[in-house]
Chain A
Amino acid sequence: MANMFAFAESRGGALRRVAFEAVSAARALADASGSGEVHALLAGAPGIASLAPELGKYGADVVIVVEHAGLANANSEALAATAAERIRSGGYRAAIFSASAQGRDLAPRVAAKLGQSMAADVTSFGLAGDALVVTHPAYAGKVIATLRLTGSPAIVTLRPGARAAVEAPRAARVESAQPAADPGASKVVVKEMIAGGGAKLDIGDAPVIVSGGRGLKSADNFKLVEDLAAAFGNAAVGATRAVTDDGWRPHSDQIGQTGRQVSPDLYVACGISGAIQHIAGMRNSRTIVAINKDKEAPIFKVADYGIVGDVIEVLPVLTAAVKEARAKG
């Protein structure tokens, strides 16, 4: 029997999906080890405590709530100190963070504070005696590594979306705590938060991604990609590096080796050649559709379904057909 720690990531006063994934992963480890408890750390501005029951739904037995005005924006130094302090005193067997931008920033600092090694960006995990055995995609997703991490607590970051959160409801006990370092004393200060366009889905969360490449010919033609994404209703827009380099889309939309790695249910590649560096970011999508005028384009080698044709001509027709199919239900 062993207790597990999970970091419950929030932004702007709301929990992120990855928070539930981390809690749910910790739940699975606690259950596998016998009847251990899951303790989730929830930190934010005053009022964040109201989110604690949501974590109970995914299996948190205890929610450690740290409320402080200085935690309204991510405050890596104060959060890392607080998480490390709690992990040190709590005697946990494992500590789970998400491999999100915030989790990847936080977990290595916590690991270094505790003098513990960590496994990053894992897609699966299991306890095996005194080790935690994890899988981690390496070499641009072309190799899957199985790694053995010894030492307790085992610190890991879990790849977003790799393991869906499973409900395991319970009434979580709430414990209030103070930040272990004064958030006001942090040297790195968030001066400005730039919101990502309201309710717009992030490419890491979207079940469907419609991506455009240089075959779109101009920034204006990305309207056709956005229209198709809107027709799906649950889609985000992605891009190749050729397109982000030309400034047609922001760098944060780039998918690939030096961009984001995504694994949606459906990936629609529009006017994308399928360079190896692009495929590195989307090859784990469940279903891949490619539209390209060149039937020899390498993207067709990874696509489940291909249309050989001009994106400018095909996209509006596809958008209309998707709208119609969705209307029928």
Chain B
Amino acid sequence: MKIAVCIKRVPDMETRFKIAASGTAVDAAGLKYDMSDFDGYAVETALQLNEKQGPGETVVISLGPDVVQEQLRKALSMGADRAVQLKADRVPADGLAIARALAAELQGGGYDLILFGRQAVDSANATVGPMTAELLGLPCATAVSTLEIANGRATARRDLEGAAEIVEFPLPAVVSVDEGMPRARYPSLKGIMAAKKKPLEVKPAQLGDEHITIEKLELPPERAAGRIVGEGAAAVPELVRLLHTEAKVL
């Protein structure tokens, strides 16, 4: 199958973020970056599908400044065949602008399957995948935790709050992947060497209008320091008393 995977460069969420002087971005000093968690699952999913189903091509696409080439190279070192950078001097905060640029690249690409992460772990909007599907007029299943493909049709499970549904749809299609799908493999040394020779094409992103601006970013209030009520089962009566009289949740 010809599979496209859209990947986003995101900072490591373990960081203790600081707000930049502008007030509208996080302080970039000392940040480490990787592809968004779910996008790693998406790359892995594509690779496994093509490994299992025989000859295919996995193309990874990322929109952003030249630094996104790091994440594209990582995907190539995992085993993707080629990469496309949709070059923009910054990533807009408007998911529709990103979806338009991705759709323009994907349109006419002859892909059987286009994979996204459920959501980018930094901005966490979960909009770009289904928007891109709509712009391309393709069937779409969001946040799938299983995906099976046979005879040009896909079957997937979507976890809903407190329930789940099994959906079926024809290819070509757009799918966004959730927890439950395979985790990204670590690139092998051989993979890293091979990635250096794989094609990485750079094209301008066709972004269009934007209607979302970041007014400010703030750190949420710190939680007030808690306390250790006691040790072992002996502490239970005091805990229950506090939940009743102080926290008023019991």
Contacts and interface: CB of A to CB of B under 8 A. Distances in A.
Interface of A: 11, 73-74, 76-77, 80, 100-102, 104-105, 107-109, 111-113, 115-121, 133, 136-151, 160, 187-197, 200-205, 207-208, 232, 241, 244, 251-252, 254, 257-259, 265-266, 276-277, 280, 283-284, 286-289, 295, 300-310, 313-314, 317-318, 321-322, 325-326
B124 A196 contact: no
Contact of A310 (B19, B135, B232): B232
Interface in B203-234: 210-220, 223-224, 226-233
B180 A112 contact: no
Contact of B239 (A192, A202, A252, A305): A305
B67 interface: no
Nearest to B235: A307
A309 B141 contact: no
B159 A251 contact: yes
Contacts of A137: 124, 220
A108 B228 contact: no
B187 interface: no
A142 B126 contact: no
Q: Which 10 A-B pairs have the closest CB atoms?
A: A202-B162, A112-B134, A196-B162, A117-B211, A309-B232, A120-B125, A187-B139, A108-B130, A317-B233, A108-B127
B162 A112 contact: no
Given A109-B140, A251-B180, A266-B249, 18 more contacts: A100-B160, A116-B211, A117-B210, A133-B215, A143-B17, A143-B220, A149-B212, A191-B155, A193-B164, A195-B163, A241-B179, A257-B37, A266-B243, A304-B224, A304-B227, A307-B231, A313-B233, A314-B236
Interface stretch (B50-58, B89-97, B104-112): B89-97
Interface string B158-169: 111111111111
Main SS class of interface, A? mixed
B247 interface: yes
Nearest to A305: B229
27 contacts: A73-B165, A101-B159, A101-B161, A108-B131, A109-B130, A109-B140, A112-B96, A117-B94, A137-B220, A138-B217, A139-B26, A143-B220, A147-B93, A193-B164, A204-B162, A205-B161, A241-B179, A288-B226, A300-B226, A305-B226, A305-B227, A306-B227, A307-B236, A308-B228, A308-B231, A321-B240, A322-B240
B244 interface: yes
A105 B142 contact: yes
Interface in B102-133: 121-133
A112 B236 CA distance: 53
B47 interface: no
Given A148-B213, A277-B13, A318-B236, A252 B167 contact: no
Contacts of B123: 138, 145
B80 interface: no
A160 B158 CA distance: 18
B220 A304 contact: no
